[in-house]
């Protein structure tokens, strides 16, 4: 078979029939769809756990679950949300969008693309199985600090192996993204012409490859400490439990930017579209993303101010953490300047994007407060921290995902979603999320520690409000699912450009786009 005919034949293949389409596919759109649906499912699984947490915390006293199970819920909720919902969702977006945005036929390494997705359901299964293991599931927090995590029962190896698999999947996904961006761009699409979403993903992928192996190494040490008698985290053998924290956060801090940089990318696509005005300060946005990524490697110990580091260490990590406010501020200012003197309309994606900018900035402020080491001695391990990171993760990362879904759904399905329902979904979400997380700032400052199933009476009112917000926010997401499936099944036909102000290669393709995105490379001027 000659090369030419082979390729020719490939390109005119549509999707394979039945289940094998999904199991064996090497198509970036199919894989992207699977990533997105998987992450939506995991969002509900993790969300259901969060609702158990909030239900228990509705009132003081133990009502629904016992403390050990509560800790399992906290732990698995976080792991499922971080590794099962948010990260795969962004990889799903990358799969759908990057080839279309750079003008490629598909991802660079299509078979590996399939594998990096198909590891995920198995990894998630291991994690869920662990909940049913003898002695209960992992309950030492998503941070898995030893020695506590070493007290886990039969669930322990499932937890560790699940993290290993999740890491493999992320690394393969990231390698694919980098290879696609560096090698598959259409002629003329030089680096400084790439859409910002592509840029942020390029840098995110780099972060992923740099830190996921470190997490894998760290949990491997946990495994050998528990089962093979090593002493990495045991002072009697010359090790140090705090060393795990250093390893974890060397991974963990870049990890939180892994969850927010692609979100920055999404927002940088949406705001110009609905402002009908080019993104302000494109190149400074790129440099800011790069600076954030660089700084993210040297700030990790701001999660560990209270472990008793030497003064010089505390100061170093305090200063470096504060510095991150600068490039992040540049981003915020550029978004606002993009809106300035634009011609704005407020469709659902834009609403989510604006909420993102505001609520993310609020989270950034609480982050900055946490960065002040002496003040963190008070904030650390309280609900103030819980409020901080949920503001970045829910109205930050998750809102950007919802914005992205509304923004690109017409392109993906060929149908407009129901704008009215979308707006209702937005307002329910934005109210719900603030009722849910804003009061947590107060209880945290007033002294409520995190990871507790029961609390003193002075925290009762705000916890109740927060729990009500959780149920409002949680159940509003059922509407989101309804809107998505409605748009998949039908609706007003979307044009190629979809949005009046949209620019970029993906909008030159039909809606929905052909099975292989760009069979012949477009010319980019």
Partner 1 sequence: MLVNFFVRLRSVITISALLLWSACASAAYELNMPVGVTDTSRSVYDLHMLIFWICVLIGLVVFGVMFYSMYHHRKSKGAVAAQFHESTTVEIIWTVVPMLILIGMAIPATQVLIAMEDTSEPDITVKVTGYQWKWGYEYLDEDIQFFSSLSTPREQIANAETKGEHYLLEVDNPLVLPVGKKIRILTTAADVLHAWWVPALGWKRDAIPGFINDSWTVIKEPGTYRGQCAELCGKDHGFMPVVIEAKSEEDYQQWLADMKGEAAQVAAAEAVDREWTQEELMSKGQEVHDGVCASCHQAGGTGVPGAFPPLVAGQVFNAPEPMLQPLREMGFLGPDNTIVMGPVEQHTQIVLKGIPGSAMQAYAEQLSDAEIAAVITYQRNSWGNDTGDVVQPSTIKSAR
Partner 2 sequence: MVQAHGGYYVPHGSHWPIIGSVGLFLFMLGFASLLNGGGAFWMYAGGAVVIYMVFGWFSTVVRESESGTYNDQVDLSFRWGMGWFIFSEVMFFACFFGALFYVREYSVPWLGGESRFITHDLLWPGYDAVWPTNGPGEIGGEFKPMGAWGLPALNTLILLTSGVTVTWAHHALKENNRKHLIWGLAATVGLGALFVILQAIEYSHAMHDYNLTLQSGVYGSTFYMLTGFHGFHVTLGAVILAVVLLRAMRGHFTPEKHFAFEAAAWYWHFVDVVWLGLFVFVYWL
By annotation, the residues acting in catalysis are: 77, 106, 142, 169-170, 253, 255, 257, 268, 302-303, 328, 331, 450
Sequence-ordered list of residues with C-beta below 8 angstroms from that of 312, at least 6 positions apart, any chain: none
Q: What string marks each residue from 77 to 116 as x (binds ligand HEA by CB under 6 A) or -? A: xx--xx---x------------------------------
Q: Measured between alpha carbons, how far is residue 16 from residues 22, 112, 210, 518 in Å?
A: 8, 18, 36, 19
Q: Is residue 397 involved in binding ligand HEA (CB under 6 A)?
A: yes
Site for ligand HEA in 261-320 (CB under 6 A): 302-303
- Cα separation of 321 and 302, whole Å? 7
User: Which residue of 48, 154, 191, 456 would you call a contact of partner 2, by CB under 8 A?
Assistant: 154
Distances (CA, A) of 334 to 260, 319, 357, 395: 17, 24, 11, 20
Among 475, 482, 492, 500, binds ligand HEA (CB under 6 A): 475
Map residues 21-40 to x or -, x wherever contact with partner 2 holds by CB under 8 A: x-xxxxx-------------
Q: Is 135 left (phi over 0), alpha (psi -120 to 50) or beta?
A: left
Residue 395, both tokens:
């109205």
- In the range 353-382, which residues lie near ligand HEA by CB under 6 A? 361, 364-365, 367-368, 370-371, 376, 379-380
Residues 36, 114: Cα–Cα separation, whole Å: 14
Number of residues that bind Cu ion (CB under 5 A): 1
Q: Of these partners, Cu ion, partner 2, partner 1, none, which one is at the site of residue 182 (CB under 5 to 8 Å by kind)?
A: partner 2
How many chain residues are in contact with ligand HEA, going by CB under 6 A? 59
DSSP helix/strand/coil, 190: coil
Residue 140 touching partner 1 (CB under 8 A): yes
Of the candidate spans 23-31, 90-98, 143-151, 213-221, the one that interacts with partner 1 by CB under 8 A turns out to be 143-151
CB of 371 to Cu ion, least distance (A): 9
Based on the shown chain and the rule CB under 8 A, indicate whether residue 243 belongs to the binding site for partner 2.
Answer: yes
Residue whose CB is less far from partner 2, 313 or 342: 313
User: Is the separation of the CB atoms in 61 and 70 below 8 Å?
Assistant: no
134 binding partner (options Cu ion, partner 1, ligand HEA, none; Cβ < 5 to 8 Å by kind): partner 1
Residue 415 bridge partners (DSSP): 493
Alpha carbons 37 and 31: distance in angstroms, whole number: 10
Q: Cα 189 vs. chain centroid, distance in angstroms?
A: 27
Site for partner 2 (CB under 8 A): which residue of 5, 229, 374, 457?
A: 229
Map tokens 């993790």 to a residue: 46
> Applying CB under 8 A, does 452 fall inside the site for partner 2?
no
Of residues 125-144, those binding partner 2 (CB under 8 A) = 125-126, 134
DSSP letter (8 states) at residue 382: B
Cβ closest to partner 1, residue 104 vs residue 131: 131
* Interaction between residue 445 and partner 1 (CB under 8 A): yes
The only residue of 301, 386, 387, 505 in contact with ligand HEA, by rule CB under 6 A: 386
44-52, 117-125, 322-330, 379-387 -> range binding partner 2 (CB under 8 A): 117-125
Residue 232 corresponds to which tokens in the numbers above? Answer: 């990495």
| CA-to-CA separations, 184 to 75, 211, 521, in angstroms, rounded | 39, 25, 9
Residues 32-91 that bind partner 2 (CB under 8 A): none
Q: Does 284 bind partner 2 (CB under 8 A)?
A: no
User: Contact with partner 2 (CB under 8 A): which of 62, 64, 182, 358?
Assistant: 182
| Cα-based distances in Å from 35 to 40, 41, 84, 177, 413 | 9, 10, 10, 14, 16
> Which residues within the stretch 232-271 sit at the binding site for ligand HEA (CB under 6 A)?
256, 259-260
164 or 253: CB nearest Cu ion: 253
Handedness of CA 127, 129, 130, 136 (dihedral sign): positive
Catalogue the long-range contacts made by 440-446 (C-beta closer than 8 Å, 24 or more residues apart). 440/383, 440/384, 440/386, 440/387, 440/390, 440/466, 441/366, 441/383, 441/384, 441/387, 443/382, 443/383, 444/379, 444/382, 444/383, 444/384, 444/385, 444/386, 444/387, 445/379, 445/382, 445/384
Could you give the CA distance from residue 466 to residue 443 in angstroms, rounded to a whole number?
10
The two three-digit tokens of residue 220, written as one number: 């491997």
Number of residue whose CB is nearest Cu ion? 253
Residue of 164, 253, 415, 441 that binds Cu ion (CB under 5 A): 253
- The reply on whether position 479 binds ligand HEA by CB under 6 A is no
What ranges in 184-260 are assigned the alpha helix state H? 196-227, 241-258
Q: What's the token pair of residue 321?
A: 């953490």
Rounded to the nearest whole angstrom, what is the least distance from the CB of residue 382 to partner 1 in the complex?
A: 7
Instruction: Please identify which residue in 34, 36, 40, 53 interacts with ligand HEA, judged by CB under 6 A.
Output: 53
The binder of partner 1 chosen from 9, 23, 24, 153 (CB under 8 A): 153
Provide φ and ψ at 288, rounded to 5°: -65, -45
Question: Which residues contribute to the site for ligand HEA (CB under 6 A)?
Answer: 43-44, 47-48, 50-51, 53-54, 74-75, 77-78, 81-82, 86, 141-143, 256, 259-260, 302-303, 321, 324-325, 328-329, 332, 361, 364-365, 367-368, 370-371, 376, 379-380, 385-386, 388-390, 392-394, 396-398, 436, 450-451, 470, 473-475, 477-478
């Amino acid at each position: 078979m000659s090369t030419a005919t082979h390729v020719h034949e490939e390109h005119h293949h549509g999707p394979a029939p039945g289940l094998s389409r999904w199991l064996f596919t090497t198509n970036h759109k199919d894989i992207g769809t699977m990533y997105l649906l998987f992450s939506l499912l995991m969002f509900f699984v993790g969300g259901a756990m969060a609702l158990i947490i909030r239900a228990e915390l509705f009132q003081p006293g133990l009502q629904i679950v016992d403390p050990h199970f509560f800790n399992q819920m906290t732990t698995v909720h976080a792991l499922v949300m971080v590794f099962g919902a948010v990260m795969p969702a962004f990889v799903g977006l990358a799969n759908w969008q990057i080839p279309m945005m750079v003008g490629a036929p598909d991802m660079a390494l299509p078979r590996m693309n399939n594998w990096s997705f198909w590891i995920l359901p198995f990894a998630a299964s291991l994690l869920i199985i662990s909940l049913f293991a003898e002695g209960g599931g992992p309950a030492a927090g998503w941070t898995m600090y030893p020695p506590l995590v070493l007290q886990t029962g039969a669930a322990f190896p499932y937890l560790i192996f699940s993290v290993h698999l999740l890491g493999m999947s992320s690394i393969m996904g990231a390698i694919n993204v980098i290879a696609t961006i560096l090698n598959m761009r259409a002629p003329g699409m030089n680096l400084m012409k790439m859409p910002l979403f592509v840029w942020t993903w390029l840098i995110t992928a780099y972060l992923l490859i740099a830190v996921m192996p470190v997490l894998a190494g760290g949990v491997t040490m946990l495994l050998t400490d528990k089962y093979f008698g090593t002493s990495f985290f045991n002072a009697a053998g010359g090790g140090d439990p705090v060393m795990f924290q250093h390893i974890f956060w060397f991974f963990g801090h870049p990890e939180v930017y892994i969850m927010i940089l692609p979100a920055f990318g999404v927002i940088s696509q949406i705001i110009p579209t609905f402002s009908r005005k080019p993104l302000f300060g494109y190149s400074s946005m790129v440099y800011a993303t790069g600076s954030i990524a660089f700084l993210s490697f040297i700030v990790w110990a701001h999660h560990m101010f209270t472990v008793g580091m030497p003064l010089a260490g505390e100061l170093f990590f305090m200063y470096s953490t504060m510095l991150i406010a600068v490039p992040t501020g540049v981003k915020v200012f550029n978004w606002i300047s993009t809106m300035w003197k634009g011609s704005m309309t407020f469709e659902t994606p834009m609403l989510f994007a604006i909420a993102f900018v505001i609520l993310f900035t609020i989270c950034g402020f609480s982050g900055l407060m946490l960065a002040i080491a002496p003040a963190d001695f008070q904030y650390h391990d309280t609900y103030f921290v819980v409020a901080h990171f949920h503001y970045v993760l829910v109205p930050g990362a998750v809102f950007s995902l919802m914005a992205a879904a509304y923004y690109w759904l017409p392109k993906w399905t060929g149908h407009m979603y129901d704008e009215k329902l979308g707006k209702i979904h937005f307002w329910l979400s934005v109210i719900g999320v603030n009722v849910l997380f804003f009061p947590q700032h107060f209880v945290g400052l007033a002294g409520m520690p995190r990871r507790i199933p029961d609390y003193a009476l002075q925290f009762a009112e705000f916890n109740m409000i927060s729990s009500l917000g959780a149920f409002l926010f949680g159940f509003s997401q059922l509407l989101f699912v309804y809107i998505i499936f409605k748009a998949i099944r039908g609706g007003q036909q979307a044009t190629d450009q979809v949005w009046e102000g949209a620019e970029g290669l993906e909008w030159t393709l039909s809606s929905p786009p052909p099975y292989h995105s760009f069979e012949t490379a477009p010319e980019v001027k």
